Every structure is written in C-alpha cells, then in structure tokens.
Amino acid sequence: MDKNHFDVIVLGGGPAGLTAGIYLGRSKAKTLILDTGMPGGQMVLTYEIANYPGVENISGYQLSSVMKKQAKNFGCVVKPNVKLASLHLEGPNKEVKLENGDTFTAHAMILATGGRPRMLNVPGENEFKGRGISYCATCDGDFFQDKEIVVVGGGNSALEEAVALTKYASKVTILHEFDHFQAFEHAVEEAKANKKIDYIMEAHITGFYGDESLRGIQYKNLKTGETHKKSIDGVFIFIGYEANTQALQNGPVKLNKWNEIITDENLQTNLEGVFAAGDCRAKRYRQITTAVSDGTIAALNALNFIQK
Ligand SMILES: Cc1cc2nc3c(=O)[nH]c(=O)nc-3n(C[C@H](O)[C@H](O)[C@H](O)COP(=O)(O)OP(=O)(O)OC[C@H]3O[C@@H](n4cnc5c(N)ncnc54)[C@H](O)[C@@H]3O)c2cc1C
C-alpha cells in the first residue's frame, strides 16, 4: 500500500484540525495532518484559556500539547512546518505537493487552516514588528517587564490580553477607535477593575517611530482630528483576524468576500469530499470550542463520505 496515500488529509493542526484528527484516528481512518507552522495554531498564542469546558485556567500551550498527543496516540501522522507547493482538490483523488517534493494523496480533505492576526497597516508597523510591536501576549509579554505598553483593540482578545499583560507591564493603555468596547461585559469589567489599565478612546494609530526598537506611537483623536505622539516601550495589536486561505484564493473552493471558506451545515465545501472546519470558514463565532465542534462535524462527515 502507498505510504503517502491517506483516507483523509487535514490541512492545519489548530484545535479544529487536531480534533478532526482525534475523531478520524479513533475511527481507524489513515489520517495525515499537515501544518505550515507549529500544531496548536492560535491556542499557542493564548496566555491563559479560561473558557474551555472541563479545564480551568490552562495555558494555550498546554491545551495544544494534549490535543496533539491525543491525535498522535490515535495514529495520526502529524507533520509540522511544511511548505505547500500545490493543492489539487477536485475529483476523487485529492493531492497535496510539498516544496521538498513529497506528494500525499487522500480520498477526502479537511481544510482547517485557521486565521492570523490582522495588521493595522500603518507606517512603521512592518519595521518595528518583533522590535516592540507584537500580536501575541503569550509569546512576548515577558519582554515588557515593568515597561509601559499600549494594547490596540476593543474586542474580547484585546481586553483579556491587556489584563494578562498587566502581570508584566507597569502600565497598559488600551487604545480603541470607538467610545465603547465590543467585548463581553465580564471582559470589560475585569479590565476596568484593573488599576494598571488606562484608556485612549476614539483614536487611531497613524504611525510608529523609533530607532533600533520602537520608541512611540502617533495617534489621531477621531473626535477632534488632533494628532498626538506618545512615548511607549511596546504595542500589542488585537484587532481581529483574517482567514488563512491564501492557498485557495485562485479557486476552486468557494470563498466569500472576506476570503473565508463557504460550507454547508455538514461543513462540506462546494467540492465533493472537501470539508472546512474552524476559523478559516465563514461563520460568526471564532473560539476554541467552536473550532473543536467544527473539527468533529467535518471528521464525521469525511468518514461518512469515504465509507460511501
Ligand atoms: C491572542 C488570542 C487569544 C485567544 N483567546 C481565546 C480564548 O481565550 N478562548 C477561545 O476559545 N478562543 C480564543 N482565541 C481564538 C481561538 O484561538 C481560535 O478561534 C482557534 O484557535 C481557531 O482554531 P482553528 O483550528 O480553526 O485555527 P488556528 O488555531 O488558527 O490553527 C490553524 C493552523 O493551521 C495552520 N495553517 C495555516 N495555513 C495553513 C496551510 N495553508 N496549510 C496547512 N496548515 C496551515 C496554522 O499554522 C495553524 O497551526 C484566541 C485567539 C488569539 C489570537
């Protein structure tokens, strides 16, 4: 039997892809999980997860490790850090080619490529990325011990990560474009109760400045139109996500206008035998629980498909 032929190939090893792997592997389907980064996905970027049922206050890294171990224990082959060369998704034989020449085929495919943090796209952002600008509190929070930082955004991630960052920073200023937050009430209350957190509301960052490292931001007050400068040691940006569907943007999988994958309620895409799960698909709520749910549904429907 061809060792590179699988029942199902899962693209992406975040919570959606790993859950799909757990269900597929446990059903004895020969499963390959390919990830262009490290399995765990955005969970690895999360300092503390307090809303995953059954585990209290686990770190994103720990939860990822357990999910990956479960998928491997059920027989999934997990390949991290792969570089995709091409995808062939039409017809009964799906194929993935890697840049190193490896080629894998399968009867069914689950796309679980997740999302990535959205950038502000203002001058200086690329220059100071990794030199004062970060998109991940877990990864970079401890570089800002006793420093002053700004958190950009007003959703759940921004407020929760701002609170997490007060463990390191001497002061955290949340800068948000509206006069109110979009986060859930409990996240807003927790941030407001934290004495280290301050606010700049109704403002936009217009640029970053510094030398070898970030030294400050320029921002515009959206009510008065005035521009200000603020010296700062670091900036964390949490303004939403974009789907990781670059590999699909020239078809044949149908995407919506935000480049998210369109599925039916069985999480099947417009192509037979190709399913999508998690943050890469068009849906309203993007959480670990919803990714895990998608992974389950996609795996069960993929199993049903290959059994036919
Ligand atoms: C800072 C932050 C804090 C968060 N906090 C919480 C929280 O407290 N609770 C909660 O429930 N949710 C939280 N979320 C959201 C949650 O992490 C996501 O909704 C969830 O991880 C989505 O899972 P996923 O498997 O769909 O995608 P992802 O987690 O994005 O995983 C996708 C995986 O696919 C890989 N990949 C990308 N492109 C390709 C490709 N072309 N081929 C193969 N692999 C590819 C990526 O490397 C990644 O490993 C947070 C997110 C962030 C960024």
Q: pLDDT tens, 226-241?
A: 999 999 999 999 998 8
CA of 47 to the centre of ligand 1 (A): 13
Contacts of range 161-166, beta carbons closer than 8 Å, 24 or more positions apart: 161/47, 161/137, 161/236, 161/238, 162/191, 162/194, 162/197, 162/236, 163/187, 163/190, 163/191, 163/194, 163/197, 164/47, 164/48, 164/137, 164/138, 165/137, 165/141, 165/236, 166/194, 166/196, 166/197
| Distance from residue 103's CA to the centre of ligand 1 (Å) | 25
Indicate if ligand 1 lies below 6 Å from the C-beta of 51.
yes
Task: Report the nearest atom of ligand 1 relative to the CA of 238.
Answer: 1
Region 271-275 average pLDDT: 97
Which region among 32-41, 50-59, 235-244, 275-284 has the lowest average model confidence (pLDDT)? 50-59
Q: Which two tokens stand for residue 175?
A: 């800068």
Residue 161 CA, ligand 1 centroid: distance in Å: 15
Nearest-atom number in ligand 1 for the CA of 245 is 41
Q: What's the mean per-residue pLDDT of the chain?
A: 94
CA distance 228 to 217: 8
Mean pLDDT in residue range 8-26 = 98
Say whether pLDDT at 46 is over 80: no
The per-residue pLDDT for range 286-302, each reduced to its tens digit, is 889 999 999 999 999 99
Whether the CB-CB separation of 219 and 175 falls below 8 Å is answered with yes
247 CB within 6 A, ligand 1:
yes
Q: How far is the CA of 224 from the centre of ligand 1 (A)?
A: 38
pLDDT classification of 1: cutoffs 50, 70, 90: low
pLDDT at site 19: 98
> 226 CA to middle of ligand 1, Å?
37
Protein residue with its CA nearest to atom 3 in ligand 1: 46
Instruction: Provide mean pLDDT across the span 114-138.
Output: 91
Q: Are 197 and 174 in contact (CB under 8 A)?
A: yes
- Calculate what percentage of the chain has a pLDDT beyond 70: 100
| Residue 202: pLDDT band with limits 50, 70, 90 | very high
Whether 11 lines ligand 1, by a CB cut-off of 6 Å, is: yes
